[in-house]
Amino acid sequence: MAQTQNQMAAERAAGAGAGPGLATEQGPARGRIVILNALPLNALPRSHIRLDVLPVNIVDLGHWMYRRLAEGFEIVHYIRHQATIQALRRELGIPLPLEPNAGLYQYAPGDIIVVVSLRTPQRGQEVQQVNISDLEMWIVTVL
């Protein structure tokens, strides 16, 4: 099966050695895939950094995430919106914790960030149903 351009770019975004992470059943994790609903710049290192931002579709993101899981990456999320969590679990089939997480993200070396946000932000209201077509996704790597 031929890789799409997004899949190949996503592979580059993961890098060959993504740094240390938390322990998993497979041994020490290679790093974390961190799913956020936005990219807070104050969560990143307070030094000169560069970001590689790659827009992806759900199919390419799913393939990319399964490869990272097989390589020993851990998935964590900081998403407080239940409908978004359910849409990601349903469409990606990944072991994403179902509980909303309103914690504050702080970058750790080796983190690869996946930003998932609504295409049309809804201000002042809680969206109850989210379809994957309602979401935009990016893979963000700190260089």
Number of alpha carbons in the 13 Å side-chain half-sphere of residue 87: 20
Give the pLDDT band (50/70/90) at residue 6. Answer: very low
Residue 40 lies in a domain: yes
C-alpha angle 17-50-44 in degrees, rounded to nearest 5: 85
Residue 22 lies in a domain: no
- Specify the pLDDT at position 127: 67
Residue 45, domain CATH: 3.40.50.11170
Residue 101 carries which DSSP code? -
Residue 21 lies in a domain: no
Residue 23 carries which side chain, given as an amino acid letter?
Answer: A
Domain that holds residue 74: 5-12+30-142
Residue 99 lies in a domain: yes
Residue 60 lies in a domain: yes
Please name the helix (run of DSSP H) or strand (run of DSSP E) that holds residue 6, with its range, or none: helix 5-14
- Specify the pLDDT at position 134: 87
**pLDDT, tens digit (0-9, with 9 covering 90-100), for 8-29:** 444 444 443 332 223 334 455 6
**pLDDT, tens digit (0-9, with 9 covering 90-100), for 39-85:** 999 999 888 899 999 999 999 999 999 999 999 999 999 998 888 89
**pLDDT, tens digit (0-9, with 9 covering 90-100), for 79-124:** 988 888 989 998 988 878 888 999 999 999 999 999 998 888 766 5
Encoded tokens for 69:
């899981």
- Specify the pLDDT at position 11: 47
Residue 92 lies in a domain: yes
Residue 59: closest CA among 141, 142, 133 = 133
Domain count of the fold of the chain: 1
Residue 17 lies in a domain: no
- Specify the pLDDT at position 41: 92
